[in-house]
Amino acid sequence: MKVCPVHATWKEPDGIVVVDYNWCIGCRYCIAACPYKGRLFNWGEPNIPPEELNTSVHYLGNRPRMKCAVEKCTFCIQRVRSGRYPACVEACPTGARKFGNLLDPKSEIRYIIENKRVFRLKEDLNTEPKFYYFFEA
Amino acid sequence: MEKLQDTLKETWHFYRKTLTLVARGSTAYYAWCLLLLAFIAIGLFYYLRQHDVGLFATNMNDQVSWGLYIANFTYLVGAAAAAVLLVIPAYIYHFKPIKEIVILGELFAASSVIMAILFVMVDLGRLDRFWHMLPVIGKMNFPQSLLAWDVLALNGYLILNLLIPIYLLVRFYYHKEPNWKFILPFILASIPWAVAIHTVTAFLYNGLPARPFWNASILAPRFLASAFCSGPAIIIIIFQIIRKVSAIKLEDDALFKIAELIAYAMFLNLFLLGSEIYKEYYSHTVHIAAFKYLFEGLHGHNFLVPWIWAAMAMNVMAFFIFLVPHTRKRLTTLNLGCLLVIMGVWIEKGPGFVIPGFVPDPLGEIYEYLPNLLELMVSFGIWALGLLIFTLLMKVAIPIVTGEFTHTEYEREIIGLKRY
């Protein structure tokens, strides 16, 4: 986030890192800086047929992206802000994906972190990722 | 009132004369300018296509997200910083042969910075939003983002390297001694500023722990050492061309002095590179992957291997050419050495530096990047534009330095008119 020369990306108070697609200048410095390859670039003009457009959109989320600007996963900000799960969590047929409030001690996600084997990627980089991988011992 | 009129007349005379100087030249001059203009036109044509289609038109992708443009940018910042190698001997040690040519060196730096900035501009996905980066009207992320630092450093350096030579040229034009009290602080500032532009550019890469290939403390010194090789090498070649096609006199001593500095810089460059190679290969952590990709090839991917070894060979050969006084002080071997340095450092500090930062990518994917025709043509266009700017600057600056283009001519005209 701090590498962005124009303040086009930041962490929301609820912890989701977002990109302002209308403000990004497309320098791709954040792509170079991301250790998780979490950011992608729209190399051309995105084209979604009008009939496939989702009309329930969020400015920082699932609206049609900009040509030549950076984008990233928004954890379906338009869904999670209204109390629903991100689409991938809801769609996953095996329940391999979990999503929740890390600050809530009674949440499912806290239960998993405390009771399963968990790890995070590249912890030595001190980025404190909130993305945990869990597995059964 | 009359004074104002005189000033206006003089200004008009200056602009008219400048235009004549720029517009008139030998056949070779016309051919050269036309050639550059042709390259600029082709580059612009390809750039417009890129602007239309998006960066999709290039060979860059999510794995290798910076390519030939940023490679050229890195190299040119180094070339620009190198003017300081002329500024120090000229203004601090008053080494006369270099003092006579230092203005040309500063204008070369200015042209290089313009090219470097252009390379960043063409790499931007959204050139229309460039103003977001400006302070006040946009939201510049200073001092957090190193890219913001680089914008300030490069533009500051550009202003310094236009202000100093233009001020001095105007004074020469009026046959007046420059007011050193006014200009010396700017000259002194340009010395650390030159170091700063390349340091900031190195830090831009250096500060990213996501890319172990760049995340080495030795990077900034390495950048400076290689810059002090390639920049002066370009200057030596350019000065010999200028000496041939214009009335300006350049002593061989100045060239040999610069060549000697290249020898020291190249020693440092090779030493620092060697230190880095030792550390990576002996400690042999997972971070070695990018080095292996560059020097040996990784899992059968080896686009860059012949390039980097060619660069290594060129740099080592050039080092010995510049080290031995006998070869350094003969123009044929000197020029050979310069060409080797220019190409060797371009490979090492350009594609050989930028691309392995992205290969393998943070997830371990390997994508081999080669620039496509569009990227090549846009790059040639920018180089041509920089050379054209430099040529035109020289066309005006040299006659002022040699005293052919001065205020006195105009004065003679005035006196003649009054008599009449």
Backbone angles phi, psi at A70, to 5 degrees: -85, 145
- Distance of alpha carbon B392 from alpha carbon B404, whole angstroms: 16
Residues of B in CB contact (< 8 Å) with A are 53-56, 60-62, 65-66, 120, 123-126, 129-130, 132-133, 138-141, 144-148, 151, 204-205, 207-211, 357-358, 361-363
Arithmetic mean of pLDDT, A20-30: 96
Summarize the confidence of residues B240-267 as an average pLDDT: 89
Asked whether residue A123 carries a pLDDT value surpassing 80, the answer given is yes
Contact A68, B55 (CB under 8 A): yes
Q: What mean pLDDT is reported for chain B?
A: 92
* Cα-Cα-Cα-Cα dihedral sign, residues B365, A36, B295, B316: positive
What residues are paired with A17 via a beta bridge? Answer: A11
- Interface test with chain B among A1, A21, A34, A43, by most B beta carbons within 10 Å: A43
Place B262 in a pLDDT band, splitting at 50, 70 and 90.
very high
Contact yes or no for A32 and B133 at CB 8 A: no
In the prediction, which pLDDT does A117 show? 95
Secondary-structure breakdown of chain B: helix, strand, coil percentages, each rounded to the nearest 5: 75, 0, 25
- The dihedral sign for the CA sequence B187, B188, B193, B199: positive
Residue positions counted in chain B: 420
Q: How much is the pLDDT for B416?
A: 56
Shortest Cα–Cα distance, A83 to chain B (Å): 32
- Joined together, the tokens standing for residue B124 give 């931007």
Cα B298–chain centre separation: 32
Give B65's DSSP letter.
Answer: -
Evaluate if residue B1 carries a pLDDT over 70: no
Residues of chain A contacting residue B65, judged by C-beta atoms under 8 Å apart: 28, 31-32, 41
8 Å CB contact of A40 and B62: yes
How far apart CA B228 and CA B232 sit, in angstroms, is 6
**Mean pLDDT of all residues in B327-343:** 96
Is residue B410 over pLDDT 80?
no
Give the contacts of B289 (CB within 8 A, at least 6 positions apart): B298, B360
Q: Does residue B135 register a pLDDT over 90?
A: no
Cα B92 from chain centroid (whole Å): 22
Per-residue DSSP letters for B230-299? Answer: HHHHHHHHHHHHHHHHSS----HHHHHHHHHHHHHHHHHHHHHHHHHHHHHHHH--TTHHHHHHHHT-BT
List the Cα angle B16/B398/B103 in 5-degree steps. 115
**Residue with token string 């052919």:** B404
Provide the pLDDT for residue A29.
Answer: 96
Can you spell out the DSSP letters for A110-134? HHHHHHSEEE-TTGGG----S--EE
- pLDDT at residue B414 tops 60: no
pLDDT, residue B411, reads 55
- Report the distance separating Cα A135 and Cα A87, nearest Å: 22
> Which residues lie below 8 Å from residue B411, measured CB to CB, with a gap of 6+?
none
- CA neighbours closer than 13 Å in the CB half-sphere of residue B393: 21
Q: Which residues of chain B are within 8 Å of residue A32 when distances are taken between CB atoms?
A: 65-66, 205, 208, 210-211, 357-358
Contact A29 B145 (CB under 8 A): yes
- Return the closest-CA partner of residue B125 out of B63, B203, B69, B87: B69
The distance of Cα B420 from the centroid of its chain, to the nearest Å, equals 51
Residue A136: the pLDDT is 85
Using a CB-CB cut-off of 8 Å, the residues of chain B touching A43 are 54-56, 60-61
How close B147 gets to chain A, by Cα (Å)?
6
Residue B343 has pLDDT above 80, yes or no: yes
- The percent of residues above 90 in pLDDT, for chain A, comes to 82
Q: What is the reported pLDDT for B48?
A: 97
What does the pLDDT look like over B95-119, one tens digit per residue?
Answer: 888 887 889 899 999 999 999 999 9
Residues B236/B255, Cβ–Cβ less than 8 Å: yes
CB atoms within 10 A of CB B49: 13
pLDDT at B408 over 70: no
Mean pLDDT for B206-219 is 95
pLDDT one-digit tens code per residue, A82-121:
999 999 999 999 999 999 999 999 999 999 999 999 999 9
Phi, psi dihedrals of residue A133, rounded to the nearest 5°: -105, 130
**A77 inside 8 A of chain B by CB:** no
The percent of residues above 70 in pLDDT, for chain B, comes to 97
Q: Which long-range contacts (CB under 8 A, 24 or more apart) does B277-280 make?
A: B279/B216
Give the relative orientation of helices B102-123 and B146-173 as an angle to the nearest 10 degrees. Answer: 150
The whole-number pLDDT of residue B313 equals 97
In this structure, are residues B340 and B315 in contact, taking their beta carbons and an 8 Å threshold?
Answer: yes
Please give the structure tokens belonging to residue B406.
């001065």
Q: Kindly tell me if the per-residue pLDDT of B2 is higher than 80.
A: no
Tokens 């050492």 belong to: B225
Reference B341, options B420, B235, B419; nearest CA is: B235
pLDDT of residue B117: 96
Beta strands at A39-41 and A17-19: parallel, antiparallel or unpaired: unpaired
Largest Cα–Cα separation, chain A = 47
With H, G, I as helix, E, B as strand and everything else as coil, classify residue B223: helix
pLDDT tens-digit series, residues B36-93? 999 999 999 999 999 999 999 999 999 999 999 999 999 999 999 988 888 888 888 8
CA–CA separation, A5 and B151 (whole Å): 9
Environment class of residue B125 by beta-carbon count within 10 Å: exposed (0-12), middle (13-18) or buried (19+)?
A: buried
